Amino acid sequence: MSPSENVCRIMKPKIPQLRSRTVEQLTDLLSRIDLDELMKKDEPPFTFPKTLEEFEYAFNENGQLRHIKTQEPFIFNVREDLHRWNQKRYEALGEVITQHVYELLETKCNMTKAILPLDATMDEPSSFIYLSPNALSNPSKLLVLIQGSGVVRAGQWARRLIINQDLDSGTQIPFITRAMEEGYSVMVLNPNENFLEVEKPPKSSPTEPSEEPVEKKERRDDREGKKRKEFYEKYRNPQKETETEQIPIRENSSSEEHVLYVWDHVVSKAAAKNVFIVAHSYGGLSFVELHCCNWVSSPEPLDTPLDSMLPDCPRVSAGTERHELTSWMSFDSIFRFFCEVLKVKEDEEEMSTNIVSTRSSALKSKHQDL
């Protein structure tokens, strides 16, 4: 035998033996898997608390959400290996937060609900807005607040800010209290409440005939395989989403419809001769063509002039690059802008009154001379 043949023989792997060993190891591993224990690591049910107390969270004196026992901020990844469950838990907390903000609007801000459509019957889906006590009767100033799109509801700017930062930055409450202190009446719109979501009734399974069809008997051998497949599908995705259907709210089935309806049926009926609007993100699209100022996310200092998209709507920096913070960071600047606009309008009205008065006096004097 040549040296080269000897080398080749030494280096040649024993593939059948390796394969056999791998199969044996895999078989041994599978035999030691406890399927009952495996299923204990399955996804927990989507049943979550209905109140902040049940979630074991509360807002402290600074409006920050903290765990009642540990005083820690909200933790999203309670279960590191279950992202979908964590997300559902976060959404459930968001629904509780929405109800909490509604309570604050009613208790802290003394606002009341107005059901929409205004002529809604008891049997049809409906939405609502919030009104201050003098929302329709204040003859001077009315402030209308409109949030952006998404899951936020009346009184909220950004759910993420409410949960992870504080109530002041994430809700409209500071705007409402400041406006009331300065003599405004207030309307809080609710443009994302567009439909009633109801659960679809379960589909009735067809009844099987008393005698099993021949085709079904022929497939009996692979039933165990199908059951095994269903088992692993359940482990991979143990809970299926509940099927729902959406029933639109009449004349309020979209954000645009809602804003238009409130403008035509509520705002236009108010006594205030000066209407001011604070609209965040998508909520501002209906009003950008009016005399306005647009605070946008930017690294520049607050109120730094930026290039305008529209000639009659100046754009200035909100002093933050975080979109959801633009309304809160512009808080003082917004009310200064309102004061400036109102002062200009009052000066124009005074000037117009003086001109009319001067002309009237001149005509009266001329009449007396005659």
Which residues, in sequence order, are CB contacts of 300 under 8 Å at separation 6+?
306, 317, 319
As a whole number of angstroms, the distance between CA 179 and CA 27 comes to 72
DSSP 3-state of 193: coil
As a whole number of angstroms, the distance between CA 322 and CA 328 comes to 11
As a whole number of angstroms, the distance between CA 162 and CA 93 comes to 11
275 CB-contact burial (10 Å; exposed 0-12 / middle 13-18 / buried 19+) = middle
Q: Which residue has the tokens 């600047």?
A: 333
Residue 361 annotated among the catalytic residues of the structure: no
Q: What token pair was written down for 281?
A: 């993100």
- Is the bond preceding 117 in cis, omega lying within 30 degrees of 0? yes
Catalytic residue among 169, 281, 286, 330: 281
Q: Which segments of the chain are extended strands (E)?
A: 57-59, 65-67, 112-116, 127-131, 141-146, 184-188, 195-199, 244-248, 274-279, 294-296, 305-310, 313-317
As a whole number of angstroms, the distance between CA 71 and CA 64 comes to 10
* Exposed e or buried b per residue across 126-157, where buried means at least 16 C-beta atoms within 10 angstroms of its C-beta: bbbbbbbebbbebeebbbbbbbbeeebbbbbb
The number of CA neighbours under 13 Å toward the Cβ of 330 is: 28
As a whole number of angstroms, the distance between CA 337 and CA 155 comes to 22
Catalytic residue numbers read: 281
